[in-house]
Amino acid sequence: MNDFCFSQTQILNILGVEIDRVDFALTLDLIDAWVMQRRAACTVLPPCRQICTVNPEFIVDAQRDPNFAAVLARADLCVPDGAGVLWAARRVGLPLRERVTGSDGIYRICERAATRGWRVFLLGAAPGVAERTAAVLTGRYPGLMVAGCYAGSPADDEWLAIRARLDAAAPDILFVAYGHPRQDFWIDRHRAQLPTAVAIGVGGAFDFVAGVAQRAPLWMQRFNLEWLHRLITQPWRWRRMLKLPVFVALTLLQDKGEQA
Ligand code: UDP
């Protein structure tokens, strides 16, 4: 957890992964502070801040991959995505107010960006999807400044082309939609050179905004059934989704271990 404006946040540790106990309001205030801080800097620019949207899959992956765990530990903000994170938080008596997801976050951040004059850049997803996402968002939030859109790829040989576009666009906020953990590794690897105040990995959020993929209806989200909707609409994800019961089992085992 970093310096600026953090006095109000607290940390929740789930299976060794530290998650910030923030809601959307506080997340937006932190982003606001980081953008202002970078815009106000005269000589030495503050580094690009990294936000990770941590769900149970992230936590299971971090158990298996110490490099991914290190990326999450270095991030400036790990927000609680995923109903499983809220469940685990309740179990340890540190309930969270709400999920802070990339799929909702892209709307909330763009709404704030339109009122504050921040420039946003949409990087990732299949060719053309970022442009469609930008069209939806600018229609919804008049005045939103989209500094650029580019599918690109997280492969190393794409970096120089992406960097040139970002340097020309000079965004305040960079949304990266390469799916986890690739997007989070990519931001971590390049963030010293990223010309933006904040970079956030948003997974499949562009696909949802652009209408390429269907998000679960609100009632399913409310009943914590978003995973079921994903399984029905994207059945090829079944192997990845086995991480959900693994997460539950590891959480229960940890509790047992602590009680013993
Ligand atoms: N993606 C991409 N380049 C890659 C791999 C993935 O642009 O090399 C995009 C893909 O098109 C999709 C997103 O990354 O838009 C991944 O979405 P997913 O729902 O799998 O991410 P998650 O929410 O699970 O992190």
pLDDT one-digit tens code per residue, 177-190: 999 999 999 999 99
Residue 153: CB within 6 Å of ligand 1? yes
Closest CA to 21 of 6, 35, 31, 2: 6
28 within 8 A of 104, measured Cβ to Cβ: no
Tell me, in angstroms, the distance from the centre of ligand 1 to residue 134's CA: 17
pLDDT at 4 over 50: no
Question: Ligand 1: which of 103, 178, 207, 215 to mutate, most ligand atoms within 8 Å of CB?
Answer: 178
Quote the pTM value: 0.93
Closest CA to 171 of 120, 213, 130, 207: 120
Residue 125: CB within 6 Å of ligand 1? yes
Residue 49: CB within 6 Å of ligand 1? no
User: Angle at CA 167, nearest 5°, toward 1 and 48?
Assistant: 5
Percentage of the chain beyond pLDDT 70 is 94
pLDDT one-digit tens code per residue, 222-232: 888 888 898 89
Taking CA atoms only, the protein residue closest to ligand 1 atom 3 is 178
